[in-house]
């Protein structure tokens, strides 16, 4: 039986300066029973390739085999029925409440839906493997939670969680896009509940919008959620993440979507992501002043991923550079959590660059021509859109009496952003309504 984790008030504050690496081989057992990895972009080779590279390159400094997330921790983000459906270990009778699971298709022999490959899934791309999927998803959430708590307590300097399945698409009551439990959201809830952290930044740079993470904190002013994602006016999966989605109630202004549109004409690359950091991400993050930074660290924007799952041309070296930028926040308390990314070379290269940055190693800098390159016109339009929306709608004070729109208006005039033609986004997916948005 999975026991509850030790209360974190009992853990000593240790002045350690280690970079934590979270990994557990049990996550490798989650795979489609068809055995054909070529038909499933989310497969065990993803984390295996990263772990092999970190070992071969000598970057591994500390690794702990961490626990599964408890059912209570899963409940902090997901509904009771959802946790009962996907959380219990079917081999552990103490975890399976047969009274509540009566009729549950995952435990009555009709396990999910048949996939074209011959395997089983909960939708067309999210495979289910009995009995390994629930264990893998809980180990991933537990690893991320423990790593985040140890960094927050000062036991670790920062960390990288090499975990799967990913989590940022999982909502309160539904799996989606390879995701079962939203590890980053669960870790954030535990940081709030156990350590009373009131300023947590979640940055999601996976090429797909983290709809589940956004939903979990949409009305919570203690969490600043920022996402850089391919949007294409709502045509790219999952279709959410319009710049107008700024939060609601007390959380209005604490949700920031840099929604890239324009397809692959041209694909976004280093110049565009650097511009987003200079003009949007870092100014707002510094105003917020987080106690800890969690990164939903997908690498599907890196060159090499197929167009239908990525298509952009950001370099691994750029993600290492962006990691170093984030380390200027929260006293360097940064935790990277693997989300997507399907080209194994791109995955391994990117993880190596990011871990090198966390370790403070001297790495080859980005070339001056990359640092000085202007973003493309589609990127400029997308950035002006988010700046305009945030400047008009975000009036929440972060700290020091400064309103975020004041900072943003100053950045609109920054030479880092060139003037570009305006475009119009006509679909606001969160409300399901058509909301025209004029852009400069």
Among all residues, which ones are annotated catalytic?
169
Q: Dmax of the chain from CA atoms?
A: 64
Other beta carbons less than 10 A from residue 360's beta carbon: 14
Strands 120-121 and 113-114: antiparallel
For residue 17, the SS3 value is: coil
Nearest-angstrom CA–CA distance, 74 and 408 = 36
Nearest-angstrom CA–CA distance, 397 and 344 = 42
Is the separation of the CB atoms in 406 and 362 below 8 Å?
A: no
Tell me how far the alpha carbon of residue 112 is from its chain's centroid.
26
The per-residue DSSP string of 290-306 comes to -SEEEEEE--TTBTTS-
Nearest-angstrom CA–CA distance, 209 and 226 = 10
Write out the two tokens for 208: 């797909």
**DSSP category for residue 360:** T
């Amino acid at each position: 039986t999975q026991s509850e984790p030790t209360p974190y008030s009992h853990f000593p504050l240790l002045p350690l300066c280690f970079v934590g690496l979270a990994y557990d081989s049990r996550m490798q057992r989650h795979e489609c029973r068809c055995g054909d990895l070529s038909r499933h972009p989310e497969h065990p080779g993803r984390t295996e390739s990263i772990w092999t590279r970190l070992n071969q390159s000598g970057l591994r400094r500390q690794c702990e085999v961490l626990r599964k997330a408890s059912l209570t921790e899963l409940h902090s983000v997901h509904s009771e029925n959802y946790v009962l459906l996907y959380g219990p270990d079917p081999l552990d009778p103490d975890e399976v409440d047969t009274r509540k699971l009566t009729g549950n298709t995952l435990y009555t022999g009709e396990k999910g839906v048949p996939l074209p490959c011959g395997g089983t899934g909960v939708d067309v791309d999210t495979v289910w493997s009995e009995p390994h999927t629930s264990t893998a998803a809980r180990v991933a959430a537990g690893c991320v939670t423990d790593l985040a708590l140890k960094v927050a307590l000062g036991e670790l300097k920062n960390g990288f969680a090499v975990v799967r399945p990913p989590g940022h698409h999982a909502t309160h009551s539904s799996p989606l896009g390879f995701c079962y439990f939203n590890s980053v959201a669960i870790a954030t809830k535990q940081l709030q509940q156990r350590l009373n952290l009131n300023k947590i930044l979640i940055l999601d740079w996976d090429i797909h919008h983290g709809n589940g993470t956004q939903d979990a904190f949409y009305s919570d002013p203690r969490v600043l959620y920022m996402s850089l994602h391919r949007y294409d006016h709502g045509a790219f999966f999952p279709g959410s993440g319009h710049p107008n989605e700024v939060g609601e109630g007390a959380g209005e202004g604490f949700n920031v979507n840099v929604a890239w549109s324009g397809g692959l004409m041209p694909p976004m690359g280093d110049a565009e992501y650097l511009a987003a950091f200079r003009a949007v991400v870092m100014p707002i993050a510094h105003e917020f002043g987080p106690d800890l930074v969690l990164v939903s660290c997908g690498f599907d924007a890196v060159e090499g991923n197929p167009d239908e799952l990525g298509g952009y041309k950001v370099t691994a070296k750029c993600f290492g550079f962006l990691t170093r930028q984030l380390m200027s926040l929260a006293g360097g308390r940064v935790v990277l959590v693997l989300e997507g990314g399907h080209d194994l070379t791109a995955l391994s290269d990117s993880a190596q660059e990011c871990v090198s940055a966390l370790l403070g190693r001297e790495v080859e800098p980005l070339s001056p021509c990359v640092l000085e390159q202007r973003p493309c016109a589609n990127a400029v339009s997308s950035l002006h859109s988010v700046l305009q929306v945030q400047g008009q709608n975000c009036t929440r004070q972060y700290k020091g009496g400064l309103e975020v729109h004041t900072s943003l208006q100053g950045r609109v005039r920054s030479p880092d952003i060139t003037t570009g033609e305006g475009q119009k986004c006509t679909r606001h997916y969160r409300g399901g309504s058509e909301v025209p948005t004029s852009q400069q």
